[in-house]
Chain A
Amino acid sequence: MPPPSTDLKRTALYDRHVARGARMVDFAGWAMPLQYSGIADEHLAVRQRVGIFDVSHMGEIEIAGADALALVQHVASNDASRLDVGQIQYSAITTPTGTVVDDVLVYRWADEHYLLVVNAANTRKVSQWITARAAEFGGDTAVVNASSRYALVAVQGPAAREVLGELCTLDLSTLKYYRFATGEVAGARAVISRTGYTGEDGFEIFVPPAQAVQVWDALLSAGERFDLKPCGLGARDTLRLEAGMRLYGNEMDETVTVLEAGLGPLVGWSKASFIGHDALRREREAGSSRRIVAFEMVDRAIARPGHPVLDGDEPCGRVTSGTQTPYLQKAIGFALVPAAMAETGRELTIDVRGRRATARVVPEPFYRRSRSGGASGSAGGN
């Protein structure tokens, strides 16, 4: 693997990653840690104790003004009118055909002020998309790509609350799932949200980039007694897959609709309208022709993204994500298949590098944490 080229963007924590010996890769134009101690080691740390992730590459787009809610309602599929200030919603930015420009978290930052957390690879695209839609839409709004103002650190795992609680002025026990609050973390002004992309309890901490290192270092120290691990994008991917969470660019993109991706709960059907509403309504009535399904391998093989799903000898679908996950120790994945193949228990034939292997459609998620107190709510995230 060649080292990432030097013209990649760097997060405020880049030097910390390199100093700790992380393997750095090019991810969406950013030099990001793929792994530190190893994907399996980091994955298990998050399932069993706690891990921290630099996710500063994620984009932040702010929408403000008297018509901010109306614009959010127009461009995003979910019903943002239900959000209180301090509340977060998983949503999709949709095209007129109901396909996905990006999946996002919508934060109601203030009365007439929303912040969208978007995928790193899509930050510029989403910013341009919403700016263009705002111009057509008219109204009193400002759309700002504010990504450079925030470093973002995720603390995830059963001990996340205890570790962050030591450094934080907020009472985290009162911060509910998919809510956020402002406070101080290790002396830095921070927005702390109870969100994540791992299937565990956890938090995401927005801080000014200039304070990211002090927050990161403080988390590493506070986490020592829990054997906290810094984690890379490799474990982030295996954790989200095990938890049944979709990844933009794998399970969905501008060729896959929200409903095909299995993201129906992201559609606010009761809203008057939004971009893609009519197409999605028609698709709901007629039924989707294809679906993302969760599968588990039956044969001893690991299906990887891009492997064809076969109907007889002909490809009829494809694997969108797949690996052997470190906690469940099973070869699992997602595939986009014809609706007729989507029912639970159905066997799929996958062409794994020239060899036919059998998989079975299984219920989602693959992994669900036990909830002994603390956070509650349905899975989701970004």
Chain B
Amino acid sequence: MYPADLKYTREHEWVRVDDASGEALVGITHFAQEQLGDVVFVELPEVGRTLTAGETFGSIESVKTVSDLYSPVSGEVVAINEELDKHPERVNQAPHDTWMIRVRVAGDLPADLLDASAYEALIK
């Protein structure tokens, strides 16, 4: 369920770091989308914004509720997933393949990111 090549936050984001490019994709986990229910709106930051790990980068709204999105890493937003504007339901359909922002990572990854087994233990 939770891919081993992703790292996870306690706030239920995932991050996939590409060591070659130094860039990371960020999304939310299966657990998070399940809790939210039908996603209807994903609000994302401007490209070029600089984020600090743990900072809010946007919000995600379902029919029932709204939740902030927290960046797992520090760095500059180099792209946002424009497809989510028209198709926010992709987050429900394929949460681990639906990225929200791409970040050029600055510095080391935060030490408190979880691996898949630690994340699975967290949500048990």
Chain A residues packing against B (C-beta within 8 Å)? 1, 34-35, 38-41, 43, 234, 238, 300, 302, 304, 323-326, 331, 353
| Contact B37–A302 (Cβ < 8 Å) | no
CB interface residues, B 9-56, toward A, < 8 Å = 35, 37-38, 40-41
CA distance A211 to B9 in the complex (A): 47
Ordered by A's residue number, 23 sampled pairs between the chains whose C-beta atoms are within 8 Å are: A1-B35, A35-B37, A38-B37, A38-B38, A39-B37, A39-B38, A39-B64, A40-B38, A40-B63, A41-B38, A43-B63, A234-B63, A234-B64, A238-B63, A300-B41, A302-B61, A323-B63, A323-B64, A324-B40, A324-B63, A325-B63, A326-B38, A353-B66
CA distance A331 to B40 in the complex (A): 10
Would you give the shortest CB distance from B104 to chain A, in whole angstroms? 26
Asked if B59 is at the interface (CB within 8 A of a chain A CB), the reply is: yes
Given contacts A324-B61, A353-B59, contact A304 B66 (CB under 8 A): yes
Interface size class of B (residues with CB under 8 A): 10 to 19
Cβ contacts under 8 Å, B59 to chain A: 353
Cβ contacts under 8 Å, B40 to chain A: 302, 324
Cβ contacts under 8 Å, A300 to chain B: 41
| Contact A234–B37 (Cβ < 8 Å) | yes
What 10 A-B pairs come out closest when comparing CB atoms?
A40-B38, A324-B40, A39-B63, A302-B61, A38-B38, A323-B63, A39-B38, A234-B64, A39-B37, A302-B41
Cβ contacts under 8 Å, B35 to chain A: 1
Chain B residues packing against A (C-beta within 8 Å)? 35, 37-38, 40-41, 59, 61-64, 66
CA distance A215 to B58 in the complex (A): 46
Cβ contacts under 8 Å, B63 to chain A: 39-40, 43, 234, 238, 323-326
Residue of A nearest to B68 (CB): A353
Given contacts A1-B35, A234-B63, A234-B64, 6 further A-B contacts (CB under 8 A): A39-B62, A304-B66, A324-B40, A331-B41, A353-B59, A353-B66
Would you give the shortest CB distance from A359 to chain B, in whole angstroms? 15
CA distance A34 to B37 in the complex (A): 10
CA distance A302 to B38 in the complex (A): 14
Would you give the shortest CB distance from A294 to chain B, in whole angstroms? 18
Residue of A nearest to B88 (CB): A324
| Contact B41–A324 (Cβ < 8 Å) | yes
Cβ contacts under 8 Å, A43 to chain B: 63
Which of A1, A34, A39 has the most C-beta atoms of chain B within 10 angstroms of its own C-beta? A39
Cβ contacts under 8 Å, A38 to chain B: 37-38
| Contact A302–B64 (Cβ < 8 Å) | no
Which of A35, A302, A326 has the most C-beta atoms of chain B within 10 angstroms of its own C-beta? A302
Cβ contacts under 8 Å, A302 to chain B: 40-41, 61, 66
CA distance A197 to B63 in the complex (A): 18
Would you give the shortest CB distance from A272 to chain B, in whole angstroms? 45
Would you give the shortest CB distance from B62 to chain A, in whole angstroms? 8
CA distance A97 to B105 in the complex (A): 61
CA distance A302 to B36 in the complex (A): 15
Would you give the shortest CB distance from B98 to chain A, in whole angstroms? 17
CA distance A323 to B66 in the complex (A): 10
CA distance A35 to B40 in the complex (A): 16
Which of B35, B37, B62, B63 has the most C-beta atoms of chain A within 10 angstroms of its own C-beta? B63
Cβ contacts under 8 Å, B38 to chain A: 38-41, 326
Would you give the shortest CB distance from B49 to chain A, in whole angstroms? 15
Would you give the shortest CB distance from A21 to chain B, in whole angstroms? 12
Residue of A nearest to B59 (CB): A353
Would you give the shortest CB distance from A173 to chain B, in whole angstroms? 34
CA distance A268 to B40 in the complex (A): 41
CA distance A40 to B63 in the complex (A): 8
Would you give the shortest CB distance from B82 to chain A, in whole angstroms? 14
CA distance A107 to B48 in the complex (A): 62
Residue of B nearest to A237 (CB): B64
Cβ contacts under 8 Å, B62 to chain A: 39
